[in-house]
Chain A
Amino acid sequence: MTGDSSTTTTPAEAPGVTPAVSVRGVYKVFGPKPGEAVRRLEAGASRDEVKNLGTAAVIDATFDVAPGEIFVVMGLSGSGKSTLIRMLNGLWAPSAGDVLLGDANLATVDGKRLRQLRRSRVSMVFQHFALLPHRTVLDNAAYPLEIQGVGKAERQEKAQQALDMVGLSGWQDSLPSQLSGGMRQRVGLARALAADTDVLLMDEAFSALDPLIRSEMQEQLLELQEKLGKTIIFITHDLNEAMHLGDRIAVMRDGRIVQIGTAEQILSDPANSYVEKFVADVDRSRVLTASSVMQRPRLTVPAGGGPRQAAREMRDAEVSGAFAVDRRRVLKGLVRADDAVRATKDGVEKLEGIIDTDVTSVHQDTPLAELFAPAAESAVPLAVVDDEGRLVGVVPRVTLLEAMAGESVENGNVSTPEKTQQQAQEGPADGEPAGTTEGAPA
């Protein structure tokens, strides 16, 4: 049981680089006889066999996290991930093994040094925000600096910078209770950033947020990470989140790390049947089809309407073309803005005459791979339709390319409301603000 650490550990960094965080053979047993339990576990006993000696929350965890890496620990509740992260800043002391934060071993340092390390090296974001309700947003964000002994003026300035960074400018004098959940967690994030530590621990940081806010926060985190390059250890039970955020992912089950690897490695080469089963659910949803990358059309015009109305709507929406649909949203074709304007001038009453029916549409279940040929032929975004020919979305070419490249592009507009949760979490679709959905037909 202990000998398989080589298969579960795949350090990503080159051999010469000192890991920011290094966990070596760590055990955590809660109970009356942790030492005895660890010995039995090391000898190959199972978690259940040592039950009467204590609850083995973490068993033989070994991994390195490189500086600047986002390392996600993923597992269901009770898998030991929360205990594991709490050993990385000494909130729990390991029952056995070493936790190295740079050159300091948290397993052996005394209380004073531990507090020092927490102030200077590692900060944390909590699932339920853990803000001080009686302090303003600014004072909450300044809290770590206060503990560090930074003077009032300086800490408020730094805290304000951190708040600006997470997009909470102007909220510094509010109380946490006056903010929404997403904003509260931004305060939590700002607090951790204000501490200005290299290592950031995030314990189910986005799990308490509703899906839309959650994906917004994920984007914001990635954006900040690009600028700041922190070493982030992120705990989650959500595989989509893990896949989206993690440079590498450690999958935990019953206290053990069963696999460490990149999202691709875990998807394509699951270490065992547990991981396979775990990713199977997600995998099906991640079999990328047109529906999984499509975006909501920014504007559709009624095919039965007139060109004047269509022209005005397109002008208001600032698009140069829109798909025309009938009352049941069945796709009828494409209307170009300049055609509509011309028709209006010419006094044409019906839109029908100017609808370009030569539009490439694809079924929503079409695999991504089969979208390339039609996309290449079509100058406008692909229309995605359901079984009955109703328009359900559009796939701009840029989105498609990004989806295949499988990487997110710098996105200035993280809070695009049109984005669905799935698209945001899948990553591939997030580079394209929905505003360009109805791109200009050439």
Chain B
Amino acid sequence: MIAAANDTLVPRVPVGDWIETAIDWVTDTFDPLFDAIKTFFETIYDGLDWVLSTPPFFVVAIVLAAIAFWAKGWKLGIGSLVGFVLIAAMDQWDNAMDSLALVLLASAVALVIGIPLGIWAARNEHVSRVVRPILDFMQTMPAFVYLIPTVVIFLTGPVPGIIATIVFALAPGVRFTELGIRQVDAEVVEAGRAFGSTDRRILRQIQIPLAMPTIMAGVNQVIMLALSMVVISGMVGAGGLGGDVVGALSSVDIALGFEAGLAVVFLAIYLDRVTSALADRSPVAKALKAAR
């Protein structure tokens, strides 16, 4: 009844059809471009994956644990090592490295786009006003919806997963960077100008260093979102841990599901702790800590 009432009161607006048509058109028109993008990402992903997967697992595990040790301390180093050994013991090591490669690549691209965009938005009110609703859209749209057009454009494999992950994880990089730069004490920026510094130099010597703790929090968020997208991109054959999770779901394989899931958890904790520790190592964060 209600549906019928809606039919008569409000005409059906085929938004979905329009978007589909638009995406079809985009796919046809920019096919060579998308091919190039696909090749580009595939090459980098394969390279990164090769680096992580080719050496024996304990070499990679020790290197990753060493990074944790350097960033934070021996506790995190040992904890990381235990986590990685457990991942290997659950026979999820190769999957985990596939996923890690995907997360690192997608996060890096998201940050390369997001941080400059955040800086631009912080310095330009118009840009900020345009960017904000787009980010809202990107963050609230259910994540796997991104997979549909990316699959249409890039077919299956890791690339649609990477692209969807970039889009999904982009927002906090932009937001935190903009926030961080805007929060920099206006008087300190003024001091830079008052002593004759150029805008570029103020950005480099004052705004970015002072915003760095906040930007690093954004980096952390980007990586976390990218990791959460990894599972979803398993749906489109991106492989890795997501592939096993999706496979376990379709075959109701509790054991496999939890093993892959736990590997995601270990990876998440590792990436979160290491990036937070890196945030604490920025000069401004250290300087503020020195006061206590």
Contact = CB atoms under 8 A, between A and B. Distances in A.
Contacts of B185: 128, 130
A132 B206 contact: yes
Interface stretch (A99-107, A114-122, A228-236, A340-348): A114-122
Given A177-B290, A178-B290, A134 B195 contact: no
Interface in A73-117: 86, 89, 91, 115-117
B197 interface: yes
Contacts of B196: 115-120, 144, 147-148
A183 to B, nearest CB: 13
B187 A126 contact: yes
B188 A131 contact: yes
B209 A126 contact: no
Contact of B194 (A124, A129, A134, A135): A124
B82 interface: no
Nearest to A133: B287
A134 B287 contact: yes
A195 interface: yes
Interface centre among A91, A129, A132, A178 (most CB of B within 10 A): A132
B288 interface: yes
Interface string B177-218: 000000001011011011111100100011001100000000
A89 B194 contact: yes
A364 to B, nearest CB: 42
A191 B196 CA distance: 13
Nearest to B284: A134
A21 to B, nearest CB: 15
A422 interface: no
Which secondary structure characterizes the binding site on chain A?
A: mixed
- The interface size bin for chain B is 20 to 34
Nearest to B202: A147
B193 A134 contact: no
B116 interface: no
B283 A126 contact: no
Contacts of B205: 132
Contacts of B284: 133-134
A127 interface: yes
A366 B276 CA distance: 66
B286 interface: yes
A147 B190 CA distance: 14
Contacts of A144: 195-196
B188 A178 contact: no
Given A147-B197, A177-B290, A134 B209 contact: yes
A177 B291 contact: yes
A143 interface: yes
A131 B198 CA distance: 17
Given A115-B196, A116-B196, A178 B191 contact: no
B291 A195 contact: no
A134 B188 contact: no
B193 A118 contact: yes
Contacts of A116: 196
A77 B118 CA distance: 34
Contacts of A195: 195
A86 B190 CA distance: 10
Nearest to A174: B290
A240 interface: no
> Which one of A134, A147, A201 has the highest number of Cβ atoms from chain B below 10 Å of its Cβ?
A134
Interface in B85-134: none
29 contacts: A89-B194, A91-B193, A115-B197, A115-B198, A118-B193, A118-B194, A119-B196, A122-B194, A123-B194, A126-B187, A126-B191, A129-B187, A130-B185, A130-B188, A130-B190, A131-B188, A131-B191, A132-B206, A133-B287, A134-B283, A134-B284, A134-B287, A143-B195, A147-B196, A175-B287, A175-B291, A177-B288, A178-B290, A191-B195
Closest 5 CB pairs of A and B: A119-B196, A177-B291, A118-B196, A134-B283, A130-B191
Given A126-B191, A134-B210, A201-B194, 15 more contacts: A86-B190, A115-B198, A118-B194, A118-B196, A119-B196, A124-B195, A126-B190, A130-B185, A132-B205, A133-B284, A134-B286, A143-B191, A143-B195, A147-B196, A176-B287
